[in-house]
Amino acid sequence: MSSLLHITNGDNFTDRLKTLNLKGDIITWREMLCEGKTLTNVGSESFWKTRFEFLHKNYKVSKSWFVEKTLKEYRSLCNHKQQDEIVLWFEYDLFCQINMLAVLSWLKTHRKYAQISLVCSGNEDETDHLYGLNELTDEQLLTLYKNKVELAQDDIEFADYVWQLYCSDNPIRLENLTDFEQYQFPYLSEVLHAQLRRFPTIKNGLNEMENNILRQAMERKPENKKIFMDILLQNQGVLGFGDTQYERAIGRLKPLFMSFNPVKLSKKGREILAGKTSYYSYIRENDVYLGGALKYNFLFNTDNNKILKL
């Protein structure tokens, strides 16, 4: 085994990384911890049981798929005990950053003496565009790798602390986090603000992502659902979600649409978007978690960007 281990944010990038011929073994972190309940003790039996239950119920993930894709890769990570250098490859978005926090929390406990570095893509040029790893050229990736950030113990402790807060039952504690500039995670502050905006708003009971789905439908008037999906994926800010997550979100909002071919909001959908009425009581579910917190036990006040507990 090499003394160097790379941990990547997903299969697509793992395939790409292999083409760069860097030294070291590669492990893929196959999870989406930005969705569903999470527990602080990453990698424990209760952690994986909770994750499987969520993925099975909401995404029809079979036990055999979960064992083959997620648990086998995790066990492979556990078996890589000799590496004294570990490089994490993650991106600027919420999907990636939450996974990154979990991995760092695990490493803090299980790889105390390894040197941990971070390669994180995002701001790569003078434009406002934030880049995913796969959007970069080989040359850009190699430059990022050369300039990888070695994380100090304080950085790892902070990442673990943020993970504990993410898994707690009260997101107000996340809201009170400060001092981000003291640590080497340039995208984390914005991501955690985006996390808070995933709770339903006081205005109409929908969160920012759900309101954006209605807004894009109303303003862009897509001709069909495929075009609509492309618009949503390109206009989602720092969430970094994929088709399957948007399919699920649109499914929850289906009663607010008249049709998807072309995409048209119903009268109720237009009223809710305008804030004339609330959809909270219709969309509310008692077992939807964002990290460790129940989504519908809190409201987000868009006027002062504060979370309220119900």
* 3-state secondary structure string across 132-172: CHHHCCHHHHHHHHHCCEECCHHHHHHHHHHHHHHCCCCCH
- Paired with 28 in beta bridges are 8
Q: Is the pLDDT of residue 22 over 70?
A: yes
User: What's the pLDDT tens digit per position in 276-291?
Assistant: 999 999 999 999 999 9
Amino acid 144: pLDDT: 97
User: What's the pLDDT tens digit per position in 71-114?
Assistant: 999 999 999 998 999 999 999 999 999 999 999 999 999 999 99
In this prediction, residue 156 has a pLDDT band, given cuts at 50, 70 and 90, of very high
pTM above 0.85, yes or no: yes
User: What's the pLDDT tens digit per position in 244-285?
Assistant: 999 999 999 999 999 999 999 999 999 999 999 999 999 999
User: What's the pLDDT tens digit per position in 163-204?
Assistant: 999 999 999 999 999 999 999 999 999 999 999 999 999 999
- CATH code of the domain occupying 4-192: 3.40.1360.10
Q: Is the pLDDT of residue 1 over 90?
A: no
Amino acid 204: pLDDT: 98
For Cα atoms 103, 105, 109, give the angle at the middle one, nearest 5 degrees. Answer: 115
- Paired with 290 in beta bridges are 36, 293
CA–CA separation, 6 and 113 (whole Å): 16
Pairing status of strand 298-301 against strand 306-309: antiparallel
The domain segmentation of the chain, as residue ranges, is 4-192, 208-283
Q: Hey, what are 202's tokens?
A: 């006081």
CA–CA separation, 282 and 259 (whole Å): 19
CA–CA separation, 9 and 31 (whole Å): 9
User: What's the pLDDT tens digit per position in 117-144?
Assistant: 999 999 999 999 999 999 999 999 999 9
Q: Is 43 left (phi over 0), alpha (psi -120 to 50) or beta?
A: left
> Among candidates 101, 289, 301, 124, which has minimal Cα distance to 191?
101
> Among candidates 171, 168, 174, 162, which has minimal Cα distance to 299?
171
Amino acid 264: pLDDT: 98
CA–CA separation, 273 and 205 (whole Å): 10
